Amino acid sequence: MTRRPVVAVLEGARPVRGLERVAELADIRVTKADGLAGALDGADVLYLWDYFSGALPAAWHAAGSLRWLHVAAAGVDKLLFPGLVSSDVTVTNAHGIFDQPMAEYVLGAVLHAAKGFGPLRDQQREAQWSWREGRNIAGTRAMVVGTGSIGRHTARLLRAVGVRVEGVGRTAAEDDEDFGRIHASGNLVRVVEDVDWLVLVAPLTPATVNLVSAEVIDAMKPSAVLINVGRGRLVDEDALVRRLRAGTLGGAVLDTFAVEPLPQANSLWSLPSVLVTPHMASNADSWLDDLAAQFERNFLLWVEGRALPGVVDKVLGYVPSGYGRA
């Protein structure tokens, strides 16, 4: 490239960080959503630091010179509008950054449900000394829906504490190094009946919307717990609420919802067997620095014309990572 590249950066509520090395090699235009079209005019790269923003479709007309878009998030379902999908723009995401914190969240969710930390906290508020029996998680069975990088980290961590883990992905596989057995997602209703922990880490795509349908939820055994750190629209929430209200499901730990923020009137807030968290399973004390360092690494590769990691298949809606991966 004979001229300095132009990098447009969409900044949100959190100030963007870690651009010092990039600024040595490129002209940087940091903007809020209302200035995105102007920042995109003539830009080669777009860095979506504000990964929840929906501003890009309206500004897309100005992206005629754009070659690469990097989003500081794992999920790209809100980003892949038709104009971007049909373009030649390369899209990368924060592949790998959230693997460990999300796996740790899932383990914490399993422990929360197994040891009864929710009811114990309620007892503490009432200064009530009431003995209750917890549950061993070693020997229980988890089904991890989503066999990409996050799902694999989750499987390894659960296996380390004795949980028996299998996976659910786009295609079935045997003798997988992390899951042992991977079931095809189309067979989910037939493989959940003996599952203790149904863990959702899959991306949201047309193929995964409502994957955990009413039929799947009704097939789960009464002691089973649903853990969702993927996307809210993976689940038929009405069917889930119905079983939870009836007391015929062990519980749920939910970090993502069909509508976010979760409306105050939603009954999931008040169901005693449910833990609601505000879409924070991927957060950790290092995550912003990790995201900034990843973009710097990728930018240096891009300047040198080298292959970028974490390239999203814009048709599939995620980063392909080998056979059997969701």
pTM higher than 0.85: yes
Cβ-proximal residues to 155 (8 Å cutoff; 6+ apart), any chain: 142, 144, 165, 167, 178, 179
Strands 173-176 and 180-184: antiparallel
Helix, strand, or coil here: 83? helix
**Closest of 229, 228, 230, 77 to residue 240, by C-alpha:** 228
Q: Which domains does the chain have, with CATH numbers?
A: 6-95+286-303 (3.40.50.720), 99-276 (3.40.50.720)
Q: What is the DSSP letter of 314?
A: T
Beta bridge partners of 9: 30, 47
Determine the pLDDT at residue 323: 32
Contact 262, 268 (CB under 8 A): yes
Would you report the helix, strand and coil content of the chain in percent, each value rounded to 5?
35, 20, 50
Using CA atoms, how far apart are residues 302 and 299, in angstroms rounded to an integer? 5
Please provide the size of the chain in residues.
326
Determine the pLDDT at residue 322: 55
For residue 62, CA distances in Å to 8, 28, 43 come to 12, 16, 9
Using CA atoms, how far apart are residues 134 and 315, in angstroms rounded to an integer? 45
Cβ-proximal residues to 69 (8 Å cutoff; 6+ apart), any chain: 45, 46, 47, 48, 84, 89, 90, 91, 92
Determine the pLDDT at residue 48: 97
Using CA atoms, how far apart are residues 314 and 316, in angstroms rounded to an integer? 6
pLDDT tens digit sequence for 274-297:
999 999 999 999 999 999 999 999
Determine the pLDDT at residue 201: 98
Residue appearing with tokens 């959702």:
200
CB-based burial, 49-72: b 16+ in 10 Å, e otherwise: bbbebebbeebbebbeebbbbbbb
Q: What tokens appear for 99 in the block?
A: 């693997």
Beta strands per DSSP E along the chain: 6-10, 27-31, 45-48, 68-71, 90-92, 141-145, 164-169, 173-176, 180-184, 197-200, 225-228, 251-254, 274-276
Cβ-proximal residues to 299 (8 Å cutoff; 6+ apart), any chain: 7, 21, 22, 25, 26, 45
**Closest of 224, 219, 229, 162 to residue 191, by C-alpha:** 219
What does the pLDDT profile of the chain (326 residues) look like in tens digits?
Answer: 468 999 999 999 889 999 999 999 999 999 999 999 999 999 999 999 998 899 999 999 999 999 999 999 999 998 999 999 999 999 999 999 999 999 999 999 999 999 999 999 999 999 999 999 999 999 999 999 999 999 999 999 999 999 999 999 999 999 999 999 999 999 999 999 999 999 999 999 999 999 999 999 999 999 999 999 999 999 999 999 999 999 999 999 999 999 999 999 999 999 999 999 999 999 999 999 999 999 999 999 999 999 999 999 999 999 986 533 33
